[in-house]
Amino acid sequence: MSELSILVLHGPNLNLLGTREPEVYGSTTLEGINNSLKKEGNRLQVKVSCLQSNHEGNLVDAIHGAISQYQGIVINAGAYTHTSVAIRDAIAGVGIATVEVHLSNIYRREQFRHHSFISPVVIGQISGFGSNSYILGLQALVSYLREES
């Protein structure tokens, strides 16, 4: 079995995790989340690479750049979840298995967060488990990819 490579993308404002609205997003920093993802990647025997950007076009470029480099993507598009047709089209366009994650439960929050442009083009969504949403997303993606092959 060849080693799977997974790209984890973090969208806008997620660089502020740790101090950003901790009552909503918890107190784990982005670095802490990335370290946990790498650790879980080691346990699952997959390679995990992480990237954060506050810019929509950079996220689109990163999704395009994943072609033939990564077998799966875990994405928390942050506020772009609710606005970005471009990120949705990029995910649909590259055809790479993708899991959408959110720290908070977006359906328990303001109405404008209830719609995701991304969810129709991903395998599934994990929302509301804090930083553990990323770990659950990675586990779900890896088992999906392994079942598929």
Binding to ligand DQA by CB under 6 A, coded x per residue (else -) over 103-122, reads xx-x------x---------
How distant, in Å, are the alpha carbons of 47, 127, 128 from that of 109? 33, 11, 10
Minimum separation from the CB atom of position 75 to ligand DQA (A): 10
In the list 28, 52, 53, 81, the residue contacting ligand DQA (rule: CB under 6 A) is 81
Tell me how long the chain is.
Answer: 149
Torsion angle (degrees, nearest 10) of CA 55, 136, 4, 94: -40
102 is annotated as an active-site residue = yes
Cβ–Cβ < 8 Å for 130, 28? yes
Of the residues 78, 88, 90, 134, which one makes contact with ligand DQA according to CB under 6 A: 78
Contacting residues toward ligand DQA, per CB under 6 A: 13, 76, 78-79, 81, 102-104, 106, 113
